[in-house]
Amino acid sequence: MTQVNDISFIRTLVAEEMKAVDALILEQLEQSNAPLIPQLSRHILKAGGKRLRPILTLLAAKLCNYNSGSRHIHMAASVEFIHTATLLHDDVVDESALRRGEPTANAVWSNSASVLVGDFLLAKAFQMMVGDGSLAALKLLSDTSATLSEGEVLQLTSARDLATNREIYFRIIHAKTASLFATAAEIGGIVAGATKNECNALKEYGTALGLAFQIVDDALDYSAQTAQLGKQAGDDFREGKITLPIILAYEKASDEEQKFWQHALEDTANANDENLQTALNLIAKHNTIEASLKEAENQAQKAIKALTPFPESELKTALVTLAKFTVQREF
Amino acid sequence: MTQVNDISFIRTLVAEEMKAVDALILEQLEQSNAPLIPQLSRHILKAGGKRLRPILTLLAAKLCNYNSGSRHIHMAASVEFIHTATLLHDDVVDESALRRGEPTANAVWSNSASVLVGDFLLAKAFQMMVGDGSLAALKLLSDTSATLSEGEVLQLTSARDLATNREIYFRIIHAKTASLFATAAEIGGIVAGATKNECNALKEYGTALGLAFQIVDDALDYSAQTAQLGKQAGDDFREGKITLPIILAYEKASDEEQKFWQHALEDTANANDENLQTALNLIAKHNTIEASLKEAENQAQKAIKALTPFPESELKTALVTLAKFTVQREF
Which is higher by pLDDT, B307 or A38?
B307
Most A CBs within 10 A among B156, B161, B187, B190, hence the mutation to make, goes to B156
Name the residue in chain A with its Cα closest to that of B147.
A120
d(CA A12, nearest CA chain B) in Å: 33
Task: Report whether A178 contacts A204 (CB < 8 A).
Answer: no
Which pLDDT belongs to residue B276?
94
Share of chain A above pLDDT 90, in %: 75
CB-CB: which of B117, B157, B171 is closest to A153?
B117
pLDDT at A231 exceeding the cut of 80: no
CB-CB: which of B113, B127, B148 is closest to A142?
B127
Share of chain B above pLDDT 90, in %: 75
pLDDT at A48 exceeding the cut of 80: no
The whole-angstrom separation of Cα A268 and Cα A238 is: 6
Whether A159 has its CB under 8 Å from any CB of chain B: the answer is: no
| pLDDT tens profile A184-216 | 999 999 999 999 999 999 999 999 999 999 999
φ, ψ dihedrals at B102, nearest 5°: -115, 155
Q: Which of A16-20, A102-106, A240-244, A261-265 has the lowest mean pLDDT?
A: A102-106
Task: Report whether A292 contacts A214 (CB < 8 A).
Answer: no
Q: Other CB atoms closer than 10 Å to residue B183's CB: what's the count?
A: 31
- Tell me the pTM: 0.92
Name the residue in chain A with its Cα closest to that of B148.
A120
For chain A, the average pLDDT equals 92
Which pLDDT belongs to residue B325?
93
Q: Give CA angle at B179 (B176, B183), nearest 5°.
A: 140
Which pLDDT belongs to residue B331?
63
**Contact flag B130-A113 (C-beta cutoff 8 Å):** no
pLDDT at B1 exceeding the cut of 80: no
**Contact flag A150-B34 (C-beta cutoff 8 Å):** yes
Half-sphere exposure of B98 (CA within 13 A, CB side): 12
Q: Which of residues 30-59 of B touch A (CB under 8 A)?
A: 32-37
pLDDT at B44 exceeding the cut of 90: no
Q: Which of residues 81-100 of B touch A (CB under 8 A)?
A: 86, 89, 92-93
**Contact flag A115-B113 (C-beta cutoff 8 Å):** no
Name the residue in chain A with its Cα closest to that of B127.
A142
Q: Which of A217-226, B102-111, B182-191 has the lowest mean pLDDT?
A: B102-111
3-state SS of chain B is CCCCCCCHHHHHHCHHHHHHHHHHHHHHHHCCCCCHHHHHHHHHHHCCCCCHHHHHHHHHHHHCCCCCCCHHHHHHHHHHHHHHHHHHHHHHHHCCCEECCEECHHHHCCHHHHHHHHHHHHHHHHHHHHHHCCHHHHHHHHHHHHHHHHHHHHHHHHCCCCCCCHHHHHHHHHHHHHHHHHHHHHHHHHHCCCCHHHHHHHHHHHHHHHHHHHHHHHHHHHHCCHHHHCCCCCHHHHHCCCCHHHHHHHHCCCHHHHHHHHHHHHCHHHCCHHHHHHHHHHHHHCCHHHHHHHHHHHHHHHHHHHCCCCCCCHHHHHHHHHHHHHHHCCC
- Start-to-end Cα distance in chain B: 19
Which pLDDT belongs to residue B225?
66
Which is higher by pLDDT, B103 or A322?
A322
Question: Is the sign of the CA dihedral B255, B258, B260, B266 positive or negative?
Answer: negative
Which pLDDT belongs to residue B232?
66
pLDDT at B47 exceeding the cut of 90: no
The H or E element containing residue A114 is: helix A111-132
pLDDT at A227 exceeding the cut of 60: no
| pLDDT tens profile B191-246 | 999 999 999 999 999 999 999 999 999 999 998 765 565 666 788 999 999 999 99
Q: For residue A228, name the pLDDT band (cuts at 50, 70, 90).
A: low
pLDDT at B303 exceeding the cut of 80: yes
Task: Report whether A156 contacts B36 (CB < 8 A).
Answer: yes
d(CA A179, nearest CA chain B) in Å: 14
The whole-angstrom separation of Cα B216 and Cα B209 is: 11
CB-CB: which of B34, B130, B153 is closest to A138?
B130
Q: Which of residues 221-240 of B touch A (CB under 8 A)?
A: none
| pLDDT tens profile A238-267 | 999 999 999 999 999 999 999 999 999 999
| pLDDT tens profile B248-277 | 999 999 999 999 999 999 988 898 999 999
Q: Where do the domains of chain A lie, and which CATH numbers do they carry?
A: 8-328 (1.10.600.10)
